[in-house]
Homo-oligomer: A and B are copies of this chain.
Amino acid sequence: MSETELPDAPTAAETSELDEDDRLKPGFVRAVLDAVEEGDPERARALVEPLHPADIADLFELVPADQRAGLAHAVHDLLDADVFAELNDWVREELIDALEPHEVADIAAELDTDDAVAIIQDLDVEDQREVLRAMEPDDRAAIEEALAYPEDSAGRLMQRELIAVPEHWSVGDVLDYLRGNEDLTTDFWEIFVVDGRHKPVGSVALSWVLRTPRGIAISDVMKREQTLIPVDMDQEEVALRFQKYALISAAVVDASGRLVGMITVDDVVHIIQEEAGEDALLLSGAGEGDINEPIRDTYKARVRWLIANLFTALIAATVIATFEGTIERLVALAALGPIVAGVGGNAGTQTMAVTVRALATNQLTQSNTLRSILREMQVALLNGSTVAALIGTAVALWYGSPILGVVIGGAMLANITIAGFAGVLVPVALERFDQDPAVASSIFVTMITDSIGYLAFLGLATLALSRLA
């Protein structure tokens, strides 16, 4: 699409290797693999060379696991730090295992601390030590310091390369400082102003520095109201804070308030995406749920969940078993029960998904929990009445038994209403107990809707039958 629209502005997104969604075309991937298999690394290299690092990373994710080492060998000189920074965690680990420690060290050395840490923290302790030993002392010190912070914390996420200037400087001083120091990072979007104890007192967007005469004091153009990130803050909180306050970069401070690093939005974007996407996976019990995850890990993650669900299913089965007498008298109940349980489960899942989302985005707090419950109850009553009327009528007509229609309709209404209640209450309760609502909610909600569904339906049926008798 871009191709036809942007004839004379070549961009990474238009090179013919990519389709309109920026995905590598199957034909291209095959061509590269063929070249590798036919022992023609030069051709493979020629194909891969023009790709953006992010696309080279995609390429490695798209080729079969057993062919990645061969491809890596063929294009080893294109496998630079930027590519590794973009690689899927599982694929990256795999490639790094295939490399020599000193090769990993060379790659890590090129990276900003945050990306280097991302690579090294995945290695097992033994390899970590080897890689670190092979690094320059300064780099090693920076990495080791970062690794000292808890996993998924701001300390792991931040880069130490940043621009900090004393508050008494003028804009001119800043410009001279930036122009005079070759070795400063170029990956920054604002300048942090610090006091004598290296505590941030303000920040200046580069656009302001550019538009201010040299003579003006930096402290006169800096923004004093700034959002600081505690070094031990969880990355999910960091992501929410970046999003809420629309930050491009933010200063990271240690427990004593000193400036120790900087986090830029491009590092946070991945986390926002992962954290937000995680819910769909967690709610389904698929754990990390990555298609590159080793099968063993996937099996472990999922089977646990299925066994948990097996137990909840057994509870429902016990409920049904207690009504076997009723079912023997009217076997049709065996076919109808699952309808009540199933649709109730769906209703509960809807409410639960919305609640989990609202909790994750801080939309749902103590201030509006009660209101949300009332809201969901109203929705549940509306949904319940509608579905109950439909199934009640259908069953009454089909079996020519109005009473059976009333039984299933009543059970359906009851189950959907309770489902709506549980759909809010379960996640909220889990959150209060500092559990991730996305992880365990659906087990409980399904357990409730299954049991209540059969209990209500078969219970009402038993009463009705005894009436009829």
Contacts and interface: CB of A to CB of B under 8 A. Distances in A.
A105 to B, nearest CB: 24
Interface stretch (A121-129, A138-146, A379-387, A460-468): A379-387
A227 B291 contact: no
Interface residues of A, number: 154
B352 A284 contact: yes
A246 interface: yes
A316 B299 contact: no
Contacts of A240: 21-22
A275 to B, nearest CB: 8
Interface stretch (A37-45, A72-80, A92-100, A354-362): A354-362
A11 B226 contact: yes
B13 A241 contact: yes
Residues of A contacting B: mostly? helix
Interface string A279-296: 111011110011110010
A11 B227 contact: yes
A228 B350 contact: no
A421 interface: no
B350 A286 contact: yes
A403 to B, nearest CB: 18
Contacts of A435: none
Contact of A320 (B9, B255, B335, B371): B335
Contacts of A261: none
Contacts of A347: 302, 306
A46 interface: no
A83 interface: no
A277 B245 contact: no
Nearest to A358: B291
22 contacts: A6-B230, A11-B227, A12-B227, A22-B241, A23-B362, A29-B367, A54-B244, A58-B362, A62-B367, A186-B207, A242-B269, A265-B265, A285-B346, A290-B363, A303-B382, A306-B343, A306-B346, A309-B343, A314-B339, A321-B335, A324-B331, A327-B327
B228 A211 contact: no
